[in-house]
Structure 1
Amino acid sequence: MDERTIQIRNEYITYVRLEKNYSIHTVAEYEKDVDEFLEFLKAEGIYTLESITYQEARLFASRLYDRDLSRATISRKISSVRSFFKYANAQYAIDDTAFRLLHHPKKEERLPAFFYVEELEKLFAACEKENPRDLRDRALLELLYATGIRVSELTSISLPDIDNDLGIVRVMGKGRKERYVPFGSYAQSAIERYIEISRPILMKTITHNRLFVNLRGGPLTARGVRHVLDALVDRASIQSNVYPHMLRHTFATHLLSAGADMRTVQELLGHSDLSSTQIYTHTTKEHLRRTYMNTHPRA
């Protein structure tokens, strides 16, 4: 690409990281998507952003479809490039019509998977021993289910973020948005025992203030949380495809099923848009329908 395009690209990545204050993960996705688009242009013999027309935008989208990517992934990549051109238009008056005219693919209507109460009880039973690892895993599981926080939010929690007396945790969500989420007595008790008994043993001589630590004493990562959950699922003999975000889905689904209002659930989850929370109403309705069809004598 020409030097000007590379300059705009670098400025844009700096813009989303510093001015938009996006998370490291989100910035990495933007950077990857924009670089992928620039590589596409290079392969097509196009080296300046001014040369982009709607035809090139359509061709880029069709190449994404040819790779059998999910609609959500394609939509994200198009959004990334559209945002890049919007920045180039605002800063350098480069025409961004091509990607403004490009339509997003409709997302698949997939309902979020969640745990049933019986499955959750099996998970909790799988970490009921009093050894350091089980005490940590119990606290981690209780906090995820009690608050519905994202795994990235969980792994960034520090000791000062937890107020165990009030039962409140401070989390830093997407876009560096801070919120306070309450948790109940089960999580409160599990966290207290973990901090007092388990964490000092796991930490050994290592010093840091992250709440959850791995078995070597270092801060627990998102991959580490996945490993913990996989081990619990294996011990609980749950036969399903389980991933950490299911606990967030379960939190929201169980609250709405029990009568919680959607605005409250939206705030607890840290959703900026109510439409992101509304998907869980479809889950609860589908759950009711299936239960009815499976149990009513004349269904």
Structure 2
Amino acid sequence: MNQKRSQQSTRPDLLATRRGLPTEPATAVDRFERYLAWERGLSNHTVRAYVTDVVSLLAHFVSECTEQDPRLHDLGIDSLRAWLSAEHERGASRTTLARRAAAVRAFTAWAHRRELLAEDPGPRLSVPGGRRRLPSVLREDQADSALRAAAAGAEQEDPVALRDHAVLELLYATGVRVSELCGLDLEHIDHEHRMLRVIGKADRQRAVPFGTPAARALARWLEVGRPELSGTASGNALLLGVRGGRLNPRSVRRIVHDAVSTVHDAGRLSPHGLRHSAATHLLEGGADLRSVQELLGHATLSTTQLYTHVTVERLKAIHERTHPRS
């Protein structure tokens, strides 16, 4: 990996720390970064987070080492625990500690496979699990109100309003991530079968269906709105910003916030919350967990189980319908 890419992928406040590492640990960081980006195909954001945590660990290891030329093979469980304890003393939350420990375990496993470590101390590193907080969720009637308001705003066929309506309909219809939505190109839409070809985490592709309301909103955007905003910077991007470039996640967050703010008692909601609302309403409508996992693009079912929830009313209905002594 060249120096320019390495600097772009690391937080500016850690560049000096990374450069200050001895040669062997510094080389290991560079190799690990290439592995994450090129072999595992992780996103830039994920690679940056992993590298940040590993640099922090190695900097602490070097500072605590009594050797003049610290060697990576001396990195053991005591060093990992000492670093994590220092992070805790600096005020890191349980969730943050769990994430950093996961990054370090990925590094030590990789280093052991590359014979940089005689044994892998990562599996012995444990931290209390952080509580997964579920995002806010709209009720079905609230989601309907937000989408109806967006549809009404698009009736004058203002290109931005048409785009915003299409954004909201697609997010709620498909439950895609905001990054996946912004990454859609024109050729990713199968209008005949009402399907999106989504490129998710680690470049995994999946097909996601959308319904008639989203299809109508998308058609009006493509017919009337997109040609008005399209320019030299548009390329094949499906959704465009006001200057003609690809729509960015920050703008999508604003679109969702503005739409939900018109709904009584809905509170604040992010695109992630709209994704969670879509998944919740699918489950409430009778979808099975495996199907929701496929639609959301989760690698494991356990992620879907943490990400979604079923209402008490649905559980009661299932019990009454299926239990012999309900």
Letter in 2 for 1:140: V
**What percent identity do the matched residue pairs reach?**
36
Tell me if structure 2 keeps the 8 A contact 1:82–1:96.
Answer: no
Output aligned runs, 1:83-232, within 5 Å. 83-127=106-150, 128-129=152-153, 130-232=157-259
Letter in 1 for 2:244: G
User: 1:59, CA displacement in angstroms?
Assistant: 1.6
The change in CA–CA distance for 1:286 and 1:35 in structure 2 (over 3 A counts) is: farther
SS in 2 for 1:179: strand
- Counterpart of 1:293 in structure 2 is none
User: 1:187, CA displacement in angstroms?
Assistant: 0.5
1:25 to 45, 62, 79: 45
TM-score (norm 2): 0.82
Letter in 2 for 1:16: L
Deviations 1:177-196 (A, max 9, x none): 11101110010000010011
**2:91 is equivalent to residue 65 of structure 1:** no
- Counterpart of 2:16 in structure 1 is none
- Counterpart of 1:55 in structure 2 is 78
Letter in 1 for 2:73: E
The change in CA–CA distance for 1:286 and 1:38 in structure 2 (over 3 A counts) is: farther
User: 1:38, CA displacement in angstroms?
Assistant: 2.2
Deviations 1:24-62 (A, max 9, x none): 222121122212222322443464322223222112122
CA distance in 2, matches of 1:153, 1:195: 18
Output aligned runs, 1:39-50, within 5 Å. 39-45=59-65, 47-50=70-73
CA distance in 1, matches of 2:159, 2:302: 41
SS in 2 for 1:29: helix
The change in CA–CA distance for 1:37 and 1:209 in structure 2 (over 3 A counts) is: same
CA distance in 1, matches of 2:167, 2:214: 8
CA distance in 1, matches of 2:32, 2:200: 22
CA distance in 2, matches of 1:194, 1:246: 24
- Counterpart of 1:263 in structure 2 is 290
User: 1:6, CA displacement in angstroms?
Assistant: 1.0
CA distance in 1, matches of 2:84, 2:130: 15
More moved, 65-74 vs 254-263 = 65-74
CA distance in 1, matches of 2:243, 2:119: 50
Gaps of 5+ in 2: 1-20, 317-326
Number of equivalenced pairs? 290
CA distance in 2, matches of 1:224, 1:171: 20
Deviations 1:243-298 (A, max 9, x none): 110111111110111111111111111111111122356x22356589xxxxxxxx
SS in 1 for 2:196: strand
Tell me if structure 2 keeps the 8 A contact 1:256–1:280.
Answer: no
The change in CA–CA distance for 1:209 and 1:126 in structure 2 (over 3 A counts) is: same
Deviations 1:219-248 (A, max 9, x none): 111112112222223344655231110111
CA distance in 1, matches of 2:109, 2:241: 42
Tell me if structure 2 keeps the 8 A contact 1:75–1:105.
Answer: yes
SS in 2 for 1:166: coil
SS in 1 for 2:244: coil
User: 1:205, CA displacement in angstroms?
Assistant: 4.8
Cα RMSD (Å) = 2.3
CA distance in 1, matches of 2:245, 2:63: 44
Tell me if structure 1 keeps the 8 A contact 2:112–2:120.
Answer: no
SS in 1 for 2:60: helix
- Counterpart of 1:242 in structure 2 is 269
**2:101 is equivalent to residue 81 of structure 1:** no
Relative contact order: is structure 1 or structure 2 higher (C-alpha 8 Å, sep ≥ 6)?
Answer: 1
The change in CA–CA distance for 1:41 and 1:154 in structure 2 (over 3 A counts) is: same
The change in CA–CA distance for 1:207 and 1:58 in structure 2 (over 3 A counts) is: closer
TM-score (norm 1): 0.89
Deviations 1:61-95 (A, max 9, x none): 22232344343322221111111111111113413
